[in-house]
A and B are shown apart, each in its own frame.
Chain A
Amino acid sequence: MLFNSIDFAIFLPIVFVLYWFVANRSLNAQNLLIVVASYIFYGWWDWRFLLLILFSTVVDFVVGLRLEKEGVPAKRKMLLLVSILVNLGFLGFFKYFNFFLDNFVGVFSLFGVDIDAQSLNIILPVGISFYTFQTLSYSIDVFRRKLEPTRDFVAFAAFVSFFPQLVAGPIERATNLLPQFAVNRSFDHRAAVDGLRQVLWGLFKKVVIADGCADYATSVFSNSADASGSTLVLGAFFFAMQIYGDFSGYSDIAIGTARLFGFRLRKNFAFPYFSRDIAEFWRRWHISLSTWFRDYVYIPLGGSMGRTWIRIRNTLLIFVVSGFWHGANWTFVVWGLLNALYFLPLMLRRRNRSHLGVVAEGRVLPSLRDAGRMLATFCLTLVAWIFFRADSMGHAVSFLGGILSPTLVSIPSRAPKAMLLLIPLFLLVEWLGREGEHALANMGLRWPRALRWAMYYGITLMTMGMAGRPHEFIYFQF
């Protein structure tokens, strides 16, 4: 079920009413309702893959309980290994099987050995990269004794399958979300109203910005061989807006929806395009994934401690793995590598934590220096997005080659005029709201109610007006 569909618009109020008015007398009933609703939400797409979620849930639940009882380190490691193998096994099979097979065959054919191996027609279960990482975090935290394992299977199943963030995150940590299923939830008016505001802004980002940019970006990337350099730059810019609107929009809807049910999810985006260097960008983009890799891969490898080459190795590894997480294609690996190359100079000069606060905090305009840094950082990410979006390495290289041609100084082919007006408006709202939890968090709170509601109606009508055939969220494919 897509957030931007009529189905969800009907589903959400029904679940909301059942949750607060029917199941509200018992915590267990509320948790059970969440599990049932989440399974319906997921099964709407393909019910067969519910078995995967259920299996992963059972395995990690049992592993958690066994880890608590087991005192022998070797056996504890074995248990953790079971959880890792099951979760990464699913992920590896559904997402990477064909990639490894094709590359394996390719490498052998380089040496003149032809292997007759058939790729499998595998459907990638939506959200598998997200929920497997979420359940892994539980097993690892229990293994590290950071978290008491739960004995409540329903609560655990609700934690794994919680529908707002099941298919595209934020990737929740068991330490944050699981305890919320163990305590009574009371309706918080302020949180629910703010949640709705966040949902509204998320829908605007997805339907108006992301879907509005999608057609132009797709047409430029599909016909890049014939496009002028300036058109290619504009196409890459539209894709940068599309992916941000799409993914951060999804996160906003997820976080806002969770707040309606009394849950607080982790922030996943913090206005990344207003970053002053690439390190800040990665503290603000897909935060739940970056911190997952940081805590479960980077730090165990030694993090930024130790000798220089170890720090370089760890940084390269973390970015490449992060790229590979996005998809089984070399373009994603290069995207990760490129970001690592942007990041390394900052880390080696110990400048990667220079910008921890919000840019131009307390002011309307940034300094000229900050503006220049933001622009430079954005341009770097734009180059990296080309690899992310391209179909193949050859496509990405020819796209970049096309940009660096004399036609770079020409008028780009016609972009949708409405988007050229809406994107600056969107960036302006994001800029003005950058100190809040989300762009609309503080916007208009001191305005007269009529004016504030007029703003909400304006956003609602624009979203309704631009709504076309629902586009899937890009991150569903990861």
Chain B
Amino acid sequence: MEKEDDKSDRRKFLKLGALAGGVVLLGSAIGKAVSLDSTKETGEKVKVLTADGKLMEVDGCNMKHPAAVKLTNQEMRKGIEGKKFVMVIDLAKCANARKCVEGCQKMHHKQAPTEWIKVKRMQDAESLTPYWMPQPCFHCDNPPCTKVCPVDATFKREDGLVMIDNERCIGCRFCMAACPYNSRSFNWSEPIIPQGMEAAEYSIEKSFPAKIGTVEKCDFCPDMAREGKLPDCVTACPNGTIFYGDQNEDTVTNGDQTFRLKELLTNRSGYRYLEELGTEPRVYYLPPVNRDFPFENDTIVHNTEDYKII
């Protein structure tokens, strides 16, 4: 019963053409969410995308900044209600600019050599042309990593995200061994925290501040999603390679272009990497056909800088 109520509530919500989070908000509206409460009209119009894929204008008074509620650990373990986060990576657009890697490192205060999103040179066979493949955590629906965690420090949320509680992780690294994609990194030494942020309180959704001796990885930036913002890997890409969105809402966006998820995957023959492993990734790839760029081998060796050994 409860579930149905949830659903019908959501439909009503969708019909009203108002959605929080993954909604595409244009221009100045980014960073705001739409609320149902109607107050005095301000005259300021904001464009939003409706559930059936139409752009419409609503009055600014319907937008409000989400209240800065401090989330409890339990809420962060549960996830954002009604969401199913998803990513689509268009391999035809990737030119190995590596801006996603840098953007992610900057946003999450990570230093080389740790990369939560990697860009790999892939070549499926010798007779085939290579392509570049950005690889974040796949946030699998059948995650091999959360299964093996002995203390529930890494877990699957209702919004599809696989998260880590760095205050609980015991550092056994079984999840790293279990992840067939090597998406996970380890804090081998005391993490470097930027000046002035030392006192920051730990947040699962921010994956910050990092803790020595614990595992970490790409978290799909749910803290940004709560604010209606896109992850930095999406916005940093100069070619719009990475699309981020919500499966329930059936939309994904790279900030410039917005697509219906189902249509995009159908029209562009979307696939998931190593589907046969049965991990059910939440990251889809669009094959590198009709490429925006010819493949060019990278002449620079990236990420050679090692940890500073104490």
Partners in one complex: no
Chain A contacts to B: CB under 8 angstroms: none
